């Protein structure tokens, strides 16, 4: 029974996310019905817990915990501010402006998390603003933190059962080592040939070490588990080893291109193909770790470009290399590469457990050369350079929300808090 549930979760985590959010939302309401907490405390705890429970975070456990605790503090601060500013119209209007400015800050600093965090913080602020049960700001913040804390506990309960596989990191390390090998292969001037040879040899050794480490890790995991994921990661390792063999089979021909008179037009074609291979393999490594549909799509785009450059290289070889054993060798290796590339997409897709899910975290790949195995961290933006369009939007939002709050409080409109909230 548990095995079937776990397998279904690996394919589509929506049910688990809905369960987390439902439990976090309902428990405070049950406690309020039993008279253990007030209605205001229950509502604040319910909405805050629901917001935290609905997030599906991936990455290192410490980073996950840091993000969830940080969001909990933001929500608690919003509830504190709402209750504290609820007794004065001017304070309520100014506090609304602060919440609106915070929305822009969250959008800048948290990427795609920003809008959901901003809307939840605004909702908790206005719930605190309309509280009529004499709740104090510390009590409101404590209730919000309690709801978030319970939701974090529910989150963490699933982590040991559905862990972010360290196996994925070992496989990604193999593909990164392969990318480094491809980056070292392009032809250089004759004077730089010894340094190139040393780089290629070092990259070969690194790739062998990464393959050995990953093989041992997968072998140990396979002895403990029959999950298909282990076999699919092994297939990715085999695909990397096969691709490395094909690339190294091109190396003797690339070295001959460095002989006098030096690299020519054919060397430029090899360089373009290998540069695309570097980007494609690094994209694959990132997709293995993040198992996000967006990264799979980016890899497929780069793989199509790689296939196009490979066809160009084949035509250049046919046009510029005389009929000889070397031409036959190059044609054979490039043909096998052309057959091998489509299998990479199928192998990667098979290893991605949540490819159909559209995650809330921004996994945009800003710089392939600065690739990192911390996918969750890519959602965080600590730059002080703010988009001017975001600044203008934030101030417009602040003016509109402050005007809505003033109209609601000045005219005492029933349920008027929806005016600035919407």
* 389 vs 378: CA distance, rounded Å: 21
In the chain, the largest separation of any two C-alpha atoms, in whole Å, equals 91
Is 70 exceeded by the pLDDT of residue 165?
no
Q: Does 16 score more than 50 pLDDT? A: yes
d(CA 83, CA 193): 71
Whether 193 and 154 map to the same domain: the answer is: no
| Whether residues 222 and 280 fall in one domain | yes
**223 vs 148, higher pLDDT:** 148
- pLDDT of 247 strictly over 50: yes
In the predicted model, what is the mean pLDDT of the chain? 83
- With 70 as the cut, is the pLDDT of residue 353 above it? no
- According to the model, what pLDDT value does residue 244 have? 96
Residues 77 and 156 in one domain: yes
Q: Check whether residue 284 and residue 389 sit in a common domain.
A: no
Return the minimum-mean-pLDDT range out of 95-109, 126-140, 199-213: 126-140
Contact, 76 vs 125, CB < 8 A?
Answer: no
pLDDT band for position 382 (cuts 50, 70, 90): confident
259 with 357, same domain: the answer is yes
Number of domains in the chain: 2
The answer to whether residue 75 scores a pLDDT higher than 90 is yes
Asked if the model's pLDDT at residue 365 lies above 60, the reply is no
Determine the average pLDDT of the residues in 49-75. 84
Q: Domain containing 174 — which CATH number?
A: 1.20.58
Residue range 340-366: mean pLDDT, rounded: 65
Domain range for 220 is 166-379
Q: Give whichever of 289-298, 322-331, 412-421 has the largest mean pLDDT.
A: 412-421
The answer on 225 and 314 residing in a single domain is yes
Of residues 156 and 166, the one with the higher pLDDT is 156
Is the pLDDT score of 201 beyond 50?
yes
If one compares 135 and 9, the residue with the highest pLDDT of the two is 135
Higher pLDDT, 291 or 235: 235
Question: 318 and 407 in one domain?
Answer: no
How confident is the model at residue 264, as a pLDDT? 65
Query: CA 208 → CA 63, 201, 215, 280, distances in Å?
Result: 31, 11, 10, 20
Given 363, 379, 395, the domain boundary residue is: 379
Q: Report the predicted TM-score, pTM, of the whole model to 2 decimal places.
A: 0.57
Q: How many CB atoms lie within 10 A of CB 193?
A: 14
Do 24 and 91 lie in one domain? The reply is yes
Same domain, 135 and 260: no
Is the pLDDT higher at 408 or at 378?
408
Same domain, 322 and 217: yes
Residue 192: what pLDDT?
A: 86
Instruction: Give a three-class secondary structure readout of the chain.
Output: CHHHHHHHHHHCCHHHHHHHHHHHHHHHHHHHHCCCCCHHHHHHHHHHHHHHHCCCCCCCHHHHHHHHHHHHHHHHHHHHHHHHCCCCHHHHHHHHHHHHHHHHHHHHHHCCHHHHHHHHHHHHHHHHHCCCCCCCHHHHHHHHHHHHHHHHHHHHHHCCCCCCCHHHHHHHHHHHHHHHHHHHCCCCCHHHHHHHHHHHHHHHHHHHHHHHHHHHHHHHHHHHCCCHHHHHHHHHHHHHHHHHHHHHHHHHHHHHHCCCCCCCHHHHHHHHHHHHHHHHHHHHHHHHHHCCHHHHHHHHHHHHHHHHHHHHHHHHHHHHCCCCHHHHHHHHHHHHHHHHHHHHHHHHHHHCCCCCCCCCCCCCCCCHHHCCCCHHHHHCCCCCCCCHHHHHHHHHHHHHHHHHHHHHHHHCCCCCCHHHHC
Same domain for 156 and 173, yes or no, is no
Rg (CA), the chain: 28
Both 48 and 71 in one domain: the answer is yes
């Amino acid at each position: 029974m548990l095995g079937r549930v776990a397998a279904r979760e690996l394919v589509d985590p929506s049910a688990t996310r809905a369960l987390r959010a439902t439990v976090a939302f309902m428990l405070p309401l049950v406690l309020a019905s039993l008279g253990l907490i007030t209605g205001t405390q229950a509502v604040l705890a319910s909405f805050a817990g629901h917001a935290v429970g609905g997030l599906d975070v991936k990455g290192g456990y410490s980073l996950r915990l840091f993000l969830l605790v940080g969001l909990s503090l933001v929500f608690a601060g919003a509830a504190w501010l709402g209750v504290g500013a609820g007794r004065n119209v001017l304070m309520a209007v100014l506090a609304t402006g602060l919440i609106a400015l915070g929305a822009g800050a969250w959008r800048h600093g948290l990427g795609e998390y920003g809008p959901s965090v901003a809307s939840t913080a605004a909702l908790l602020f206005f719930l605190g603003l309309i509280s009529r049960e004499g709740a104090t700001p510390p009590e409101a913040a404590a209730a919000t933190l309690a709801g978030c804390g319970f939701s974090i506990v529910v989150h963490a309960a699933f982590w040991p059962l559905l862990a972010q596989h360290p196996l994925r990191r070992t496989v990604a390390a193999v593909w990164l080592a392969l990318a480094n090998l491809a980056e070292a292969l392009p032809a250089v001037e004759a004077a730089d040939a010894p340094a190139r040879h040393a780089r290629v040899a070092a990259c070969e050794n690194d790739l062998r070490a990464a393959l050995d480490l990953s093989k041992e890790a997968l072998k140990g995991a396979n002895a403990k588990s029959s999950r298909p994921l282990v076999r699919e990661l092994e297939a990715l390792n085999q695909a990397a080893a096969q691709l490395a063999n094909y690339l190294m089979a091109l190396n003797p021909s690339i070295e001959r291109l460095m002989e006098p008179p030096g690299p020519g037009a054919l060397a430029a074609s090899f360089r373009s193909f290998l540069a695309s291979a570097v980007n494609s393999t690094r994209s694959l490594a990132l997709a293995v770790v993040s198992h996000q549909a967006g990264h799979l799509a980016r890899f497929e785009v780069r793989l199509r470009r790689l296939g196009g450059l490979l066809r160009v290289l084949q035509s250049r070889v046919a046009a510029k290399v005389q009929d000889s054993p070397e031409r036959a060798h190059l044609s054979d290796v490039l043909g096998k590469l052309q057959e091998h590339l489509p299998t990479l997409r199928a192998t990667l897709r098979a290893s991605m457990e949540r490819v159909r899910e559209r995650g809330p975290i921004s996994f945009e790949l800003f710089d392939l050369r600065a690739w990192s195995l911390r996918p969750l961290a890519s959602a965080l933006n600590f730059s002080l350079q703010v988009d001017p369009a975001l600044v203008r939007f934030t101030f417009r939002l602040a003016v509109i929300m402050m005007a809505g709050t003033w109209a609601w409080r000045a005219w005492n409109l029933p349920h008027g808090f929806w005016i600035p909230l919407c």
